[in-house]
Structure 1
Amino acid sequence: MIIGNKRIQELRESLRGRLFLPGEEDYDGARQVFNGMINKKPALIVRCAGVADVITAVRFARETDMRVAVRGGGHNVAGNAVCDDGLVIDLSEMKSVRVDPENRTARGGGGATWGDFDHETQAFGLATTGGIVPTTGIAGLTLGGGFGFLNRKYGLSCDNLLSADVVTADGRFLKASADENEDLFWGIRGGGGNFGVVTSLEYRVHPVGPVLGGEIVYPLDQAKEVLRFYRDWSTTAPDEVRADATLLSGPHGPALAIMVCYCGAIGEGERVLQPLRSFGSPMVDTVAPVPYATVQNLLTEVFRPGLLHYWKAGLFHSFSDEAIETIVDFFAGAVPAPFAAVAIEHLGGAVSRVGPQDTAFSHRGAQHSVLVLRMWQDPVETEENIDWGRRCYRAAAPFLEEGVYVNYLGDEGEARARAAYGINYERLVKLKNKYDPTNFFRLNQNIKPAPESPTPAFQTQS
């Protein structure tokens, strides 16, 4: 559909925020996202100043039959925050965070990042489970579940969500909580961006003062024995600790790094971490009492925006000796140039004490996840780097569940999206039929409405 200049000008004048068109100043900057592999060129980018702009953009897209992408933090590796020839609803200016220290809640805008959120909540000695890279958006991470350093103590990000404001496919503004639109509240806690534009999120926050955090780094030739010890120790560790083990090829060569965060009493943390810190012969041990924000920023430089990324992920069903042997042998036998990694993330604890159907995020039983990452700068190297990532994942695949963490999915097809939603997929389809029966919000890990969708629960507004 060709949209006339008059219609575009009317849209521009109706916004409090800013409209970007191809060829205009700052357009190229506005279409860039975290993953440098993504080079999409939207027809329109609406950088919203508030909810009214979001509603305007949704209605404009419906009236003009434009495909829509929704950008929060823009951190999703699949690049779903932008689209070719469509309309991007950009929330990046909607990033205010308000903390209520007395009630221990905090509300952030749909464009806020975890860096924004932590900056405000830590002023009161509070935090909630958030992404381990500060540039990650709070909305995208939470809608997909939300792994983070506090997840074993306080659950996933979505487990701490108290309410959310949502603009639906017909431009309605709804509150989703345990008391209002409860079905929608269930769905946005793991169902991704399939049901609307989330313009603000209210969380439960917890006292989190200085933590015991840092890295323990081992030579690669110790990786197998350290990983066997790590597996047994981490599976029985108290909830206050999360420890992630990562095979990595960094600027100083290949190694095994274990990144830890203990969010309880420092003295007790020293005792809990002592067996891990004393095992083997680490080259580096930076673990010390530090502000929570320090741990949250350990990976900031590694995950700087603009690099090209390939990710492939899964959840262990068997973190066995055989799995460790196979993964380490592959990595050691095909170590690429920096930066490559196989990250084994620590789950369990409070994550596993929520029922698999209590929220849309269903993968509650996994004790560890695995994420194969490859990052590079030169587009000429894309094919060989993706090939390494795929081969590395294939080595790990026999030890993984069918399911996968939806926030780590790239462009991997419908079957993988179904696996990400797991046993909750059919219930999510029914929810999609109710709130988005035309699949208006489809640029995501998509849940398609059933062909026999019922009459929409809304009337399209012109």
Structure 2
Amino acid sequence: MAFRSKAHSALAALREDLAGEVFAPWDPGYDAARAVSGARAERRPAVIARCADAADVVRAVRFGRDLDLRIAVRGGGRGLAGTASGDGALMVDLRRMRRVAVDPVAAVVRVEGGATTGDLDRAALPYGLATPGARARATGVAGFVLGGGTGWLDRAFGPAVDHLLAVELVTAGAERVRASADERPELFWALHGGGGNFGIATALTLRLRGLPRFSLARLLYPPGLAPEVVRAFRDILRTGPDELSGAVLYSSPHPVDGPLCAAVLTYAGGADGLRALAGPLRALPHIRERTAEVPYTRAQRLLDLPAGLRLHWSAECLSGLPEEAVDAFCAEAEGMPVPSRSRQLLFPQGGAVAAGPRSCPVASRDAPWIAHPCAAWADPADDARALGWVRDVRAAVRPWRTGAVCLDLIGEEGPERVRAGLGAGNMLRLEKVKRRYDPDDVFRCHHNVRPV
């Protein structure tokens, strides 16, 4: 009874103090506030604090600590990690905090914790500037960057995390801190791939890069030609410049035709240069081709998914693409849920990704290829089939996996996968940082590092 009285008083105080909104399970609007795009099960946080600013985040964390609640964070995107473990927790919702401020002279941008890739691109691109972002506009910037970040511009500029200059954070002790190369450098190191384990990122400062021109090629092929498409794509990327990237993907929109195969090439340059580089792919018989110089945001729309779908995805980092790996990858397309918005992607790394710093905890940096099955379907009756297909794709390419994991591309797959994503050699150091900033493991609802 005493706890209930304390909780009631604390909730009333939070409602009074928060500039944003507070939702308890009995409140109108709670069901809409707790809904997670892509979730396959009901999530029922104990309280949702929809924060308006960093001061609100401090107030929310104090509330959670006073009541000994786990604290989950909802940024701007639809990541899978942490959606299940948010049950019964305090959910700190940052989606009102979406401001993006560009300094075009210094070529830096400050991005609040609830902003999406689309928000960032709309603010930076009018200045001819960009920072490597996710492959879909709806991805939250903070979770994407702090988890390493992989997107269309990686080979040219390096992953998003390589552009991180500072993080404004609210710790488990409800303290506002700033981490950079000069301020709390050990925390700053941990945030370079360590994810959301160490506090709530209320804002990130990122370095921007000049992107005056960007071109995109999309070619659609008959499904039976897919192995030849993958091999041609592989060979183009093997010899192509770092400005070239893209993906080979299957999609399954039609129940009769089965999975379709497409090649996407992105290029930080003009369309004529891209057409020349795409020659071997253009020489293969194809159904449709479009190559043009476009705004970078056009590429960010390619993998957008409509709201309301059930989602599950995973990834395997590959050491290479020998002939057997190509055949194994392509064979799994037959198991895709059809019809659905599912995709089976294969995309390159290398270039500036492989050339980047080895000091931060991003274990996937050395993998030249990543296989990424993404299931997106509508009918709950298809759950087992969709999840099984994602497992089957991973199993098919397992002989060529490096053992590393790209944490941005997986959901909740257990502590060993988290360790593989962060790098076993980094774990003790990360655990010590966790002990310093979150000794009680309050922020454990996502890919978690436990305090040593």
Aligning the two structures, in what range does the TM-score lie when normalised by the shorter sequence?
over 0.9
- Confirm whether residue 72 of structure 1 aligns to residue 75 of structure 2: yes
Counterpart check, 1:286 vs 2:290: yes
Aligned to 1:425: 427
State the one-letter code of the partner of 1:384: R
Deviation at 1:74, TM superposition (A): 3.7
Alpha-carbon distance between aligned partners in 2 of 1:15 and 1:5, rounded to the nearest angstrom: 15
In 2, Cα distance between the equivalents of 1:266 and 1:426? Answer: 47
Indicate conservation of the 8 Å contact 2:132/2:157, yes or no: yes
The aligned runs of 1:29-68 (5 Å cut-off) are 29-68=32-71
Please state how far the C-alpha of 1:226 moved relative to its aligned partner: 1.6
Q: Which moved more, 1:191-200 or 1:17-26?
A: 17-26
Task: From 101, 124, 129, give the equivalent of 2:127.
Answer: 124
Report the Cα distance in structure 2 between the residues aligned to 1:335 and 1:18, rounded to whole angstroms. Answer: 39
Say which SS state the counterpart of residue 373 (structure 1) adopts. strand
Partners of 1:236 and 1:180 in 2: CA distance: 41
Q: Within the alignment, does 1:93 sit opposite 2:116 as a pair?
A: no
Q: Distance in 1 between the 2:77 and 2:86 partners?
A: 12
| 1:243 to 1:53, Cα distance in 2 relative to 1, 3 A | same
**Residues 211-222 of structure 1 mapped to structure 2, 5 A cutoff:** 211-222=214-225
Report what 2:173 is aligned to: 170
Shift of residue 32 of structure 1? Answer: 1.5
Question: Normalising to structure 1: TM-score of the pair?
Answer: 0.92
The runs of at least 4 aligned residues of structure 1 exceeding 6 Å deviation read none
Partner Cα distance (1:360, 1:352) in 2 = 14
Whether 1:143 aligns to 2:146 is yes
Distance of 1:330 and 1:274 partners within structure 2: 27
Q: Deviations over 1:138-176 (max 9, x none)?
A: 001001001111111111111111111011111111111
Residues 47-92 of structure 1 show CA distances to partners (whole Å, capped at 9, x for unaligned) of: 1111111111111111110111001114112343871121111110
Alignment of 1:341-352 (within 5 A): 341-352=343-354
Q: Aligned partners of 2:428 and 2:41: how far apart in 1? A: 31
Contact 2:39–2:83 (CA<8 Å) still a contact in 1?
no
The amino acid that maps onto 2:387 is: I
Q: Deviations over 1:329-356 (max 9, x none)?
A: 2323667432332211121111111133
- Which whole-Å CA distance do the structure 1 matches of 2:7 and 2:323 have between them? 63
Partner residue of 1:361? Answer: 362
Contact 2:82 2:445 in 1 (8 A): no
CA RMSD of aligned residues (A): 1.7
Matching residue of 1:454: none
Q: How far apart are residue 7 of structure 1 and its match?
A: 2.0
Whether 2:169 is the aligned partner of 1:183: answer no
Question: Deviations 1:411-442 (Å, cap 9, x if unpaired)?
Answer: 21111111111132222112112221211110
Is 1:226 aligned to residue 206 of structure 2? no
- 1:263 lines up with 2:255 in the alignment: no
- Residue 413 of structure 1 corresponds to 414
Give the Cα–Cα distance (whole angstroms) in 2 for the partners of residues 104 and 273 of structure 1.
31
Cα distance in 2 for partners of 1:141, 1:377 equals 25
Task: Supply the AA of the counterpart residue of 2:53.
Answer: G
Listed one character per residue, the Cα deviations across residues 218-259 of structure 1 (whole Å, up to 9, x for unaligned) are 111111112112112212221111121112222363121112
Return the offset for 1:129.
0.4
| Greater mean deviation of Cα atoms: 156-165 or 246-255 | 246-255
Aligned equivalents of 1:185, 1:362: Cα separation in 2: 17
Relative to the length of structure 2, the TM-score reads 0.94
2:135 aligns to what SS in structure 1? coil
User: Please, which moves more after superposition, 214-223 or 196-205?
Assistant: 214-223
1:275 corresponds to which letter in structure 2? Answer: P
Within 5 Å, which residues of 2 pair with 1:183-332? 183-251=186-254, 253-276=258-281, 278-300=282-304, 303-332=305-334
Contact 2:82–2:446 (CA under 8 A) maintained in structure 1: no
Equivalent of 2:340, from 334, 338, 341?
338
Moved more, 89-98 or 361-370: 361-370
- Secondary structure of the residue aligned to 1:412 is coil
Quote the residue 1:458 is aligned against: none
Which residue of structure 2 lines up, in the alignment, with residue 456 of structure 1? Answer: none
Decide whether the 8 Å contact of 1:36 with 1:309 is kept in 2: yes
Deviations 1:343-397 (A, max 9, x none): 11121111111133x2221322111111112111111221222122222321122
The alpha-carbon distance between structure 1 residues 414 and 249, as it changes in their structure 2 partners (threshold 3 A), is same
Equivalent-residue separation in structure 2 for 1:30 and 1:350 (angstroms): 39
Contact 1:70/1:80, CA 8 A, preserved across alignment: no
Deviates more, 1:245-254 or 1:106-115: 245-254
Determine the structure 2 residue equivalent to 1:390. 391
Offset, 1:4 = 3.5
Q: In structure 1, what is the Cα distance between the partners aligned to 2:11 and 2:391? A: 43
In 1: Cα distance, 2:442 partner to 2:337 partner:
43
Counterparts of 1:443 and 1:324, CA distance in 2: 36
Match of 1:459 in 2: none
Q: Specify every segment of 5 or more residues in structure 1 that has no aligned partner in the other structure, as ranges.
A: 451-462
Q: 3-state SS of the aligned residue for 1:136? A: coil
Is the Cα–Cα contact under 8 Å of residues 212 and 261 in structure 1 kept in the other structure?
A: yes
CA shift at 1:266, angstroms? 3.8
Range that drifts further, 245-254 or 112-121:
245-254
**Equivalence for 1:455:** none
- Distance change >3 Å, CA 152–CA 259, structure 1 → 2: same
Please give the alpha-carbon distance, in whole angstroms, between the structure 2 residues aligned to 1:230 and 1:129: 22
Aligned to 1:403: 404
CA contact (8 A) 1:167 1:199 kept: yes
